[in-house]
Every structure is written in structure tokens, then in C-alpha cells.
Amino acid sequence: MKTPLIYFMLLPFILSIISCNKVIDISLDNATDRLVIEGNITDELGPQTIKLNTNVAVSNTNTYPPVTGAMVTVNDQAGNVYKFTEGPAGTYITPKMIGVTGNTYTMNVVTNGKTYKASSVMPGLVALKYISSSKSSFNGIDGTRKITINYHDPKGVANQYNFLMYVNGVQVKRVFVNNDDFTDGNSVNFDLIENDIGINPGDKVTVEMQCIDKAMYTYWFALMQQNYTGPGGGVTPSDPPNNITPLVLGYFSAHTTQTKTITVK
Amino acid sequence: MASPLFTIFIILTTITAFAQKKATINGTVKDAVTGETLIGASVTLQEFSAVGTATNNYGFYSLSVTEGEYTLLFTCVGYNTIAQKVSLHKNQVVNISLSPQNGLQEVVVRAKRLSNENVVSPQMGVEKLNMSQINQVPVLLGERDILKTITLLPGIKSAGEGNTGFYVRGGGSDQNLILLDEAPIYNASHLLGFFSTFNSDAIKDVSIYKGGMPAEYGGRLSSVLDIKMNDGNDKDFAVQGGIGLISSRIKVEGPLVKDKGSFMVSARRTYIDLFLKLTTDTSIRGNSLYFYDVNAKANYHFDDKNAIYISGYLGKDVLALKNVLGTNWGNKTGTLRFNHLFSNSLFSNTSVIYSSYNFVVEGLQNAQSFKATSQINDINLKEDLQYSIGYQHTLKFGFNILQHDITPGDITSPKNSSYNERHVEKRYDFENALYASDEWNISKHLTFLYGLRLSGLFLMGPGTFKTYDDAGNTISSKTYYSRSNLVKKYINLEPRFTANYVIDDQNSIKASYNRNSQNIHLLSNSSSNTPTYLYVMSSNNIKPEIADQVSTGYFKNFSDNAYEFSTEVYYKWMQNQIDYKDGSQLLVNQDVESLLTYGTGRAYGIELFLKKKYGRFNGWIGYTLSRTERKFDDINNGHYYPARQDRTHDVSVVGIYQLNKRWAFSSTFIYGTGNAVTYPTGKYSSGGLTTFSYSQRNGRRLPSSNRLDIGATLDGKEHKRYHSSWTFSIYNVYAHRDPYSITFRDSKTVPNTTEAVETSIFATLIPSVTWNFNF
């Protein structure tokens, strides 16, 4: 019931009619220099990237110190080993690799004398059929549009999806995930409801659809729940559970990828 | 099972042996104007101030004393005291009607003394609210609200602005047993928590127990909020109502048979949605946002010994976004009670109680339509007996057999929908209890109130019941096919003990210990009052929650009992507390128990309370200093952390002043330490989004909150046929921005940086006016 659940997260929208926001100064405690690993293996043949850096204080700018000189490899269950070499500082790349459906990929990162491991299974591809735009009932007053994507969920298998949305090349600052707990085997319309960027007629909207494994779904879903921390919603935030041991920040995700772009009417 | 019954038998027989050469007076105390029975009115002997009792929930009292000549004093807050001479040489019935005081009138019988029940009663941790005070306390949008008013008492904290949830001595909001005419209310709020389900027109009496829980109550850890509906006027027909900014209400009451039976029907409805219709924006016009509720009650007294009461409540909220989403939720309760007097000292009440809460979420978009429902139903048979033996012992004992059935989630959908039908198995259990308690007046100075409650949870089939390990993996699964299959049982013995040492008429010291258990648990993903309440029962995985509380207090009255002062200190341990893992999806989930994690809690604090109950100027000041912590293995590295409901300082001041016959003014002020919250301690990038990292759970505080509300009531000129009044109120007089939350996001002004955003729900003052009438 992802969609109904999302609607309940949207109760903040109703409350926001009477509530008001103010940007304030606040001093925070810092626990920085924690390792962050962000690894992605896609089903597109080409360079695959794993990034290593550390977190920074919230008051800093969004630039993250790279972790250099690490040993990074990925292997699959057949014993193929892909070596990732450092390109730009902290960015580890293997030049030519394709993620294959059903394969389990295991990442090994050795840095500062410690080894970090994570595994992820490449799911089957589910086609992104189309993207459409319509008047949003949530933001009915300002005439902005909401984006709906459509796919046909395969019956009898568990599927999880992650969507990234860009409006005129700018990423919408929201997590959108869905699974087929309630929609197995059906044609699914999924609303990408957000209040970060107002989408207007004429805007170019690009949606990337990723098919992800269960652990990654939990990771993104936990982040999505924390997105809505306004009045009425909100869980106590914490670091989302991920698939890396020993525990550090970030994730390692093998996923399919496809994008579609529309011009909003 | 046999041993507690045996104990009761022993106690009964020994006590009876002492009760000789005494005569018993019993009767009912009523309001002289409406005929409503009065709860908690005190009945004492002028000659022996230590001898006394109070009327029970049905206005009944029974008192045994050595034969002789006495003056009986009947006292009740808001009523004129009556002194009645009795020549007591045999058992007799004394029914009394007390006439209500005019608000302006200073207490006439001051010389005769006001009630010092709070000092001499062994009960501690209890607060009783007077409905006329509740009706004068200023509230949001003029909607008089019991739940809002009780959070002005020490030890009871509001769950937040615009939220009727409340926390008692560190307990969660689902750890309060909220009873409306004995029926549990599962969701006590309307409109996402801005208003409570209790229409104060229909309410007679409100008591809340924070500690020293009497043995007749059980099933929740932290408090009992016992609300009694009006019985209805058995002398005259009366209509009363009010027209407010967002809602209107009406009450009709009158005799069925004069002085023998009466009825009462009270209803209200909000009309915010009518304002929505005024806008020109079509997308808003079609939306719905309203609630209504109806309370009804009837009673009939066959004779002095037999009476029957039937009462019910129905409430519903509707919230819908046109063509997108509709939700509605509501409570239904019904109570049938039969009072019987076996003898002048043995009072019995038998109740059959029904209670239900359900919510429905409907997707209304064409290809995405579905209907999701969730429901909890209770049927409860309850027997309570009260036996007075001499003036030394008042015994209470009884049992209840309560059957819950829970439909955790059902989804139905049309054929063309994206959504599949889905049904999570229904669950059935029995929550049975057996209790006995005795109030033992050992001497003029010492009273014990002690008892025992035996509670049992019996989880029944049919269904497939799984057991999960800590990681949430299934380790065993067993299917039962019949409702007679017992899946799991838990038996808990709950001792309750309070001692009161009365130093003198005006001073006493009390101490108590009590254990409570809870077998029905609320899971909620959200800290707020969304209606998607999901209740689960104790099971193979979920153990009964248990709380042990010790408390001690000093009670002092002064100025002839016009002022009451009390201070209580408490410490509470809680076991088997429930939280859920990060990234959990709780709704319509067959394996919801695999997402839970279990821990412990502790809460301690001191409460100070000064109250002036009588006179033109009355009100109270409450202060609480407290700490509430939780400990879970996989949260905060297994260390104790402040719970969301932890509030170090909490102050409330309530003042009501009757200026003259027509004008009354009231004001409340609250101050509280900010909620414990978790702020990020770093940030990083994840999937192109700024993501925050966290260290300590709830390690920081929101800024403190404070608010001043004022109200005024103008009584209309006296008319023969009708009476009217205006109530004015201003909520948040100095337009304080109470921070509701502080969140962090990418700055809208400086690229590549983060900003903190403070959200307040009411950042302005909110005036309101209501016109009330009765005839």
C-alpha cells in the first residue's frame, strides 16, 4: 500500500495550510569524518563507479572530503573480479562492466586497514512505460503539475523500484520508492508527489527508474519516511539501515536503469 | 485461579465477624435540579470526622456506624452542603438531593467545613475535574475540551499543540485507558487531534488516575481516564446548545418517568467544510473535512434497589481530497448496565459493553482506486461488587471477560485497479480479569487500600501464527483452524497497594505501589495523530507490557479546606516496551510483528499542585519536574535516551474569576521544556540528495513552549423561559510561535548549504466566540 501510505505522509500538506515556517540559526553537535561509501552497479555497459568520502558538519558547504588510496573491487558469484581504480580523488571506476540480472555482486573496500563488504542482487528489468503530467489536487491553488509514471509489474515476483526525478536538469530533492506489496502483477500508475520544485507547463521532466533489491528498498524507504518530518508526519530520524558491514554510511546498489523525458503540458 | 477467590472469602468472613452492633445507612446523592446522581460526593459524620465515605460511580453510598444519634454531612464541590440529623438504631435509607451553588455565592457552610476528601481518602495519584471548571477554561476555537483541560494538571502532558494525545507520568499515549461510560475509546481525537471525542455537554464526571491505580481498572500501563456521561434530567425537559465558529451542538434531556427515569441526547457537528465550499477554487471546494458525534443515554430506576442504564456514543471524522483520497474514522460504543442492591451494604453493577474503532482509506483516482479498512471490536462483560462492612472496610471485587477482535487491514479494489485485494488475518483474544480490593480504615490515622488484579490474555485461533527472531526472520510458524484453539496465554498478577497516614484533618502522607500490565498495543509510524491506528495483541512475539510504579505524597489543605496542596514523587519501571525498526511499513502487513523491537523504560518525577476549589476566584497551579527514558538494544547503541514525551519542566496555571453575576473571566498559562528531538550531526550525499547522519537519539531539545489563553463568559439577563450566554476566547494571546519541529533542508537562498527550518502550527492568536443557550 505504498500509495495510500504516501497520502498519509501528505497530511503535513493539509496541516501546512495553517502552520508556518521560518529559517532559523541553530548550533549542532558534530560527528564528522565518518566513512561514506556510495556504490552503484547498473545494467548499462560502461564505467561503473564507487565513491568514497567522509561526511561533514551540517554547517559546511556540500563538499565532501574524498577518501583516497583505497583498494576497491567487485566480484560476482561466478568468481569474476572487477578492479576499480581511482580516477578523480575518492572516485573509483571500473571502465567496462555490465550488471546482469540475477547476479549477486559483492563489493570489497579496503581503506585505513579495514575491509568493508556489501552485496546486492541485480533485479530483472521492468519497463518504464510512460510518464504523464496532470493538475495536482494537492497543490491545486498554484496550478502546478504532478508527474505520474506507469509500468507493468511482473506477477509472482517481488519487485522494488526507485525513481529519481529531474526538472529542467535539477534533481527533485525527494526520495520516491515503491514496491509491489499491493500491486503485484498489475499496471501501476505511481504519482511522484513532491513539494520541492513547482512543476509548470513547459518544464522538461526526466525520470530515471531503477529496479532495486530488497535491502536497497529498505534503505531508500527509511530515507523517504524521514523526508516528511513536518507537522503531522515524521519518524524519529536515524541513519537508514544499509547493506555494508561493518556499518558505515552509504550503500551498495546493483540496479537496472532507464530514463524517459517529457515536456509538461 | 482459586487462591484469590479463597482470599476474598476469608477476608469477607473475618470482616463480617467484626461488623456487629452497627447500623447501616445507605442511599443515593443527587442533584436537586436535574436529578443527576452525584459521583464522589462525600458523606461524613459531624460527630466523628474520621468516619465517612464517598458516593460511587452511581451516586450510591453505604456507611455503617455504631448505633446512636448523628448528623450526616453531605458535601460535593459546586453544591450546598446538607447536614441531616439521623437517629440511627436500625438500618435505614437516606436519599439526599443537593442544590447547586450559584457561582457567585461564597461558600455558605464554611463553618461546617468543606470536603477534605483529598486528605483523608487513601486514593492517591487521582485528579477529579469539575465540569463547570472545564467549561470555563479557554480553549482553541471555543471547543470546550476535557482532554485539553486535563493536560493542565501536573504529571499529565499534552502530546503537542493541536493534539489531544496525552502522556501520563512518562507513559505513551496508547498507555492510557480512556473509558466513556466504561467503554474503551481507541482514538480519542477528532480532526487529526485538534479536538477530542468528548462533547462536554454530555459529560458528568471526569477522573484521571495517574498512579495508585484501583484494582478494578486494568489493561493499560500509565493511566485511567474515567469519563461518565450525564444521565439526563429526570425532573424537567431541557434543551441546551451552542453555536460556535466551527461547530454547533445541541442537547435534549428530560424525564422518561418523572423521578424514575430519564434520557439525554447530545450531538455536535463541525462545519469547516462549509467554508471550503465558499472558495472559488474548484479543487478545494470538493474536499471534505468535518466530524460529528452523538452521545445518548437513558436510565430507569425500578425501585431503590434496581436501576438500568443504557448509553452509547457514535463519532465520525471525514476527510477527503476530491477525486484523490477519502478517509473516515470513528468510534462506536454501547454500554448496558444494571445496578442492583443485594442489601444495604452490597452494591452490584453488571455491564455489557461494546466498543469499536475503525478507519477507512479510499483511493478515488480511477486506475488507482482501492478501499483499505482496519477495525478493532470489543465485547466486554463486567461485574463489579462493592461491599461495605462497618465503617472500617469497603470491599470491591469483580471480574471481566473481554473479547477483542482485530481486523488489522483489508484492501478491496475494483478489477481495473493497480491494487490487489489483500486481507491480513483477523486476530481474536480474550482479556480476562479478576480483582479484589479492600479499603481498610485501621484507625483514625491509618488507612490501607490494597488489592490484587489477576489479568489473563488468551490469544485464540484461527490463523497462522509466526515467531520471529531479532532480525525479523521467521523461526517457526503454526496454523490453527478453530476459534477454540489457544495460541498463547499470559497471566499477570498485579498487586495494588496504597497507605494513607492522616496526621490531622488537614495533613496526610500517602504511599503506593502498583503494577499494571497491557496486552493491546498501538503501533504508529507517526508521532502525530493520524487515524491509521494499528492495534496489535500480545502474541508469540509481543509480550505483555508491564509497569511498576511507586509513589509517595504529602497532602495538605488550609484555610478550612478552601485550598488544597499536594506533592507526589513517583518512579516507574516499564518492561516490554515496543518500537519498530527503521524503514518499517506497518500498514496492512501480515508480518508486522517481524518489524518490532522491544526494550525497557523508566520514568520519575515530582509533581506540585496548589488548587483553590471554592470562591469567586478559583483555579490551580501545577508544576512537574520529570524524566522519561527508553532503552532498546538497537537504538542509541543500547543506551537510555530521553523518550519523546520527556519534558523536564512543565508548568500550568489556571485562573477563573467570577466578576459579578454576569461576567466570568478565565485564563490559562502553560510553559514546558521542548520535546526531545534528534538533530543531525553531519551530512553526506546519497543518490544525489543531501542526507543527514545522526548520533544520539533525542539528544537535543526543541525550544521551550509557552502560551497564554484567555476567555470570558457573559451570562445573558435572566429570563423565565430561557437562558443564554456568550463565551469568548483568545488562544495564544501573545501570538507566541511554539516550535512544533525543526527540520533541515538544502538552503533555498545559498546554494550548496543547509538551512534549519522551524515549523509552528499556530503562530498567531486565534479568537473565537460561541453563543450558548438553554431552556
DSSP per residue, B541-563:
SPPPEEEEEEEEEEEEEETTTTE
Which residues 78-107 in chain A show a CB within 8 A of chain B? none
**Contact across the interface for B681 and A31, Cβ inside 8 Å:** yes
How would residue A232 be classed by pLDDT, with cut points 50, 70 and 90? very low
Show the cell assigned to B348: 452490584
A-chain residues near B740 (CB < 8 A): 19, 231
Over the range B343-357, which residues count as b (16 or more CB within 10 Å of their CB) and which as e? Answer: ebbbbebbbebebbb
Closest CA to B744 of B730, B758, B733, B734: B758
Indicate yes or no: CB of B684 within 8 angstroms of CB of A26. no
What is the per-residue pLDDT for B167? 92
Query: How many other CB atoms are there within 10 angstroms of residue A77's CB atom?
Result: 12
Mean of pLDDT values over B664-676? 91
Domain B226-774 CATH assignment equals 3.40.50.880: no
Alpha helices in B158-291 (DSSP H): 272-278, 282-285
Q: In angstroms, rounded to a whole number, what is the distance separating the alpha carbons of residues B190 and B249?
A: 15
Q: pTM (2 decimals)?
A: 0.90
Domains of chain A: 2-18+124-234+257-263 (2.60.40), 35-121 (2.60.40.10)
Tell me: pLDDT of B361 over 80.
Answer: yes
User: Given an 8 Å threshold on Cβ–Cβ distance, is A188 in contact with B420?
Assistant: no
Q: Phi, psi (5° rounding) for residue B131? A: -60, -30
Omega of the bond leading into A246 within 30 degrees of 0 (cis): yes
Could you report the per-residue pLDDT of B558-602, keeping only the tens digit for each? 888 889 999 999 999 999 999 888 777 777 888 999 999 999 999
Q: Which residues of A touch B703 (CB under 8 A)?
A: none
- pLDDT, tens only, A154-169: 999 999 999 999 999 9
User: Hey, are the CB atoms on A249 and B693 less than 8 Å from each other?
Assistant: yes
Query: How much is the pLDDT for B280?
Result: 59
A186 interfacial to chain B (CB closer than 8 Å): yes
Q: What is the pLDDT of residue B568?
A: 96
- Say what the pLDDT of residue B501 is: 95
Per-residue cell: B188:
480519542
Asked if the Cβ–Cβ distance from A4 to B417 is below 8 Å, we say no
Q: In chain B, what residues touch A53 (CB-CB under 8 Å)?
A: 684
What is the structure's pLDDT at A1? 33
The position carrying cell 457567585 is B104
Q: Which helix (H) or strand (E) holds B693?
A: strand B689-693
Cross-chain residue pair A62–B683, CB shorter than 8 Å = yes
Whether residue B687 and residue A220 make contact (CB cut-off 8 A), yes or no, is yes
Residue of A nearest to B676 (CA): A236
> What is the enclosing helix (H) or strand (E) of B120?
helix B117-120
Return d(Cα B9, Cα B19) in angstroms, integer: 15
Q: Where are the alpha helices (DSSP H) in chain A?
A: 2-9, 11-15, 214-227
Question: In this predicted complex, what is the ipTM?
Answer: 0.94
Å between A78 CA and nearest CA of chain B = 27
Q: What is the mean pLDDT of residues A215-220?
A: 95
Most confident option among A227-231, A234-238, B523-527, B618-622:
B618-622
B687 touches chain A (CB under 8 A): yes
Other CB atoms within a 10 A radius of the CB of residue B541 amount to 19
Cell of B159: 502530546
CA distance B358 to chain A (A): 16
The stretch B430-459 carries a mean pLDDT of: 94
Which member of B325, B682, B690 has the closest CB to residue A32? B682
| pLDDT value at residue A7 | 46
B285 touching A, CB under 8 A? Answer: no
Cβ contacts of B686 on chain A, cutoff 8 Å = 36, 38, 223, 249-251
Q: Which of A30, A55, A230 minimises the CB distance to B759?
A: A230
Q: How far apart are CA B52 and CA B42, in angstroms?
A: 7
Edge-first strand listing for the sheet containing A187-192: A128-135, A145-152, A187-192
Contact A24 B757 (CB under 8 A): yes
Is the CB of B720 inside 8 Å of chain A's CB atoms?
no
Q: Give the distance from residue B529's alpha carbon to the nearest chain A alpha carbon, in angstroms.
A: 7
A84 vs chain B: nearest CA distance in angstroms?
20
* B647/chain A closest Cα distance in angstroms: 17
Backbone angle region of B380, left / alpha / beta, with phi > 0 → left and psi within -120 to 50 → alpha: beta
- B530 and A23 within 8 Å at the Cβ level: the answer is no
Closest-CA residue of chain A to B580? A235
Burial of B259 per CB tally in 10 Å (0-12, 13-18, 19+): exposed
Query: In this model, does residue A230 exceed pLDDT 50?
Result: no
Give B-chain residues touching A218 at CB under 8 angstroms. 582-583
Element (H, E) at B475: strand B474-480
CB contact under 8 A, A230 and B679: no
* Chain B 745-764, residues with CB within 8 Å of chain A CB atoms: 745-746, 752-763
Hey, is A224 helix, strand or coil? helix
CB atoms within 10 A of CB B462: 17
In order, the DSSP letters of A34-90 are -EEEEEEEESSSEEEEEEEEE-B-TTS-S---B--S-EEEEEETT--EEEEEE-STT
Q: Where are the domains positioned within chain B?
A: 2-115, 226-774
- Do B219 and B455 meet the contact criterion of CB atoms below 8 Å apart? yes
- Per DSSP, A31 falls in state -
The whole-chain average pLDDT of chain A stands at: 88
**Mean of the pLDDT values across residues B175-194?**
88
Q: Which residue of B has its CA nearest to A238?
A: B694
Please give the Cα distance from B541 to B101 (Å, whole number): 55
Distance from CA of A200 to the nearest CA of B (A): 17
How many angstroms separate the Cα of B760 from the Cα of each of A88, B647, B700, B734, B743?
44, 18, 18, 14, 12
- Residues in chain A with CB shorter than 8 Å from the CB of B699 are 29
Interface residue of A238, A243, A245, A259 to substitute, partner B, most B CBs within 10 Å: A238
Biggest CA-to-CA distance, chain B? 91
The CA angle A147-A151-A154, to the nearest 5 degrees, is: 155
Query: Which residue of chain B is at minimal alpha-carbon distance from A55?
Result: B684
**Residue pointed to by grid coordinates 517529457:** A262
**Nearest CB partner across the interface for B192, out of A7, A55, A232:** A232
Please list every residue in chain B whose beta carbon sits closer than 8 Å to the beta carbon of residue A38: 685-687
Minimum-distance CB partner of B761 among A171, A231, A235: A231
AA letter at B165: G
B689 touches chain A (CB under 8 A): yes
Distances (CA, A) of B222 to B66, B209, B217, B219, B537: 40, 9, 11, 10, 18
Contact between B169 and B85 under an 8 Å Cβ cutoff? The reply is: no
Per-residue pLDDT, B587: 78
> Alpha helix locations (H) across B399-519?
none
Antiparallel, parallel or unpaired: β B176-180 and B223-229: parallel
Give the number of residues written for chain A.
Answer: 265
Best of B592, B632, B685 to substitute, by most chain A Cβ atoms within 10 angstroms, is B685
Contact residues on chain B for A29, CB-CB shorter than 8 A: 679, 681, 695, 699-700
Q: Do B363 and A30 touch (CB under 8 A)?
A: no
Mention every residue, 6+ apart, whose C-beta is less than 8 A from residue B37. Answer: B28, B29, B30, B31, B55, B58, B59, B60, B231
Residue B137 pLDDT: 82
Residues of chain A contacting B744 with CB distance shorter than 8 Å:
58
**Cβ within 8 Å, pair B367-A240:** no
Position B715 pLDDT exceeds 90? no
CB contact under 8 A, A240 and B752: no
Fold designation for B2-115? Immunoglobulin-like (2.60.40)
Put simply, the chain B residues between 361 and 380 with a CB less than 8 A from any chain A CB are 361, 363, 365, 367-368, 370, 372
SS3 call for A17: coil
Flag whether pLDDT at A16 surpasses 60.
no
Scan residues 619-648 of B and list those with Cβ closer than 8 Å to A. 635, 644
A19 at the B interface (CB within 8 A)?
Answer: yes
Which residues 6+ apart lie within 8 Å of B7 measured at CB? Answer: B436, B452
A143 touches chain B (CB under 8 A): no
Helix (H) or strand (E) holding B3: helix B2-18
Higher pLDDT, B460 or B524: B460
CA-based angle B43:B45:B48, to the nearest 5?
Answer: 135
Contacts of B581 in chain A (CB under 8 A): 241
Which pLDDT score, from 0 to 100, does residue B104 have? 45
- Please report which confidence band the pLDDT of residue A13 belongs to, taking 50, 70 and 90 as the band edges: very low
More confidently predicted of B614 and B230? B230
For testing contact with chain B, the best of A8, A150, A165 (most B CBs within 10 A): A8
Residue A89 binned pLDDT confidence (cut-offs 50, 70, 90):
very high
Mean pLDDT of A195-218: 94
Distance CA B413, CA B425 (A): 18
